[in-house]
Amino acid sequence: MSEQKKEAAAQEQEAVTPQEQEAAVPSAKPRRHYGYRVVAGIFVLALVLGVFLFRNMKRSIRTIEQTQKDMAIAGKTLTWSGCMDRVMKWNKMCGAMQVLCRASISRITASCLEARSRTKACKAMDLGKSRAHFTFKHCKARGEHRRRHWKRECGTAFGTLHKYCQFWKNKKKRGAVANRVVSVRKPSSPAVSAKVPTSPRPAPARR
């Protein structure tokens, strides 16, 4: 039986043609068309992603610009505390890209504060030893100092307020010092020299 099996296997091998044997052996040549397809797919995906990001950024910029205009209008009737409330509320509900929202906090805060005069409010405000102490104090009062995500945004908003009031306080001090210097250095009125009339000399006598 074993000899019959060997003979049958030999007959089957002889029955296979050389062309069939070559077709059964896998080709060693790489299939280059697969590489082209992968590169083309990556290029198309990058193009679609770039268009999506560009449209999203453009929409976000328009949203932030409109928010800045609205904040300038609202700031005419809001106090500095109201401006801070409005800015923090906007930041938590910002519909633009998160990166652009964080980068625009300072501008939007300044738009609200600059909408009206804050001289009296800044004069009565305790700015503390430094900007860091000022921001930590107010963010702690709002409960934002423990939240890592909102701590940075709160610090940026109140840092803008500190910078704004510090500018006006320094400007007022500079104006007061300048007025004091001017009053000290006022030129005295020039002395009027009085002319004393002299008597005419007598004419010499003729001999």
The conformation of residue 145, written as its DSSP 8-state character, comes to S
Residue 96 placed within a domain = yes
Residue 195 placed within a domain = no
For residue 97, the model assigns a pLDDT of 87
Reading the block at residue 180, the tokens are 């004091």
| 70-74 LR contacts (CB < 8 Å, sep 24+) | 71/108, 71/111, 71/112, 71/115, 72/111, 72/112, 72/114, 72/115, 73/115, 74/112, 74/115
- Print pLDDT tens along the chain (207 aa): 556 666 666 556 555 555 555 555 555 555 556 677 777 778 788 888 888 788 888 898 999 999 999 999 999 999 999 999 999 999 888 888 888 898 999 999 999 999 998 888 888 888 877 888 898 888 888 887 666 666 788 889 999 999 999 887 776 655 554 455 444 454 554 544 445 455 555 555 554
Residue 83 placed within a domain = yes
For residue 177, the model assigns a pLDDT of 47
The parent domain of residue 51 ranges over 37-179
pTM: 0.61
Residue 80 placed within a domain = yes
Residue 91 placed within a domain = yes
Q: Total structural domains in the chain?
A: 1
Residue 32 placed within a domain = no
In the three-class reduction of DSSP (H, G, I as helix; E, B as strand; rest coil), residue 196 is classed as coil
Q: Which amino acid is at 111?
A: S
For residue 96, the model assigns a pLDDT of 87
Q: Which residues lie below 8 Å from residue 155, measured CB to CB, with a gap of 6+?
A: 135, 136, 139
Residue 128 placed within a domain = yes
For residue 193, the model assigns a pLDDT of 44
Cα–Cα distance list, 44 to 31, 53, 146 (Å):
21, 14, 44
Residue 29 placed within a domain = no
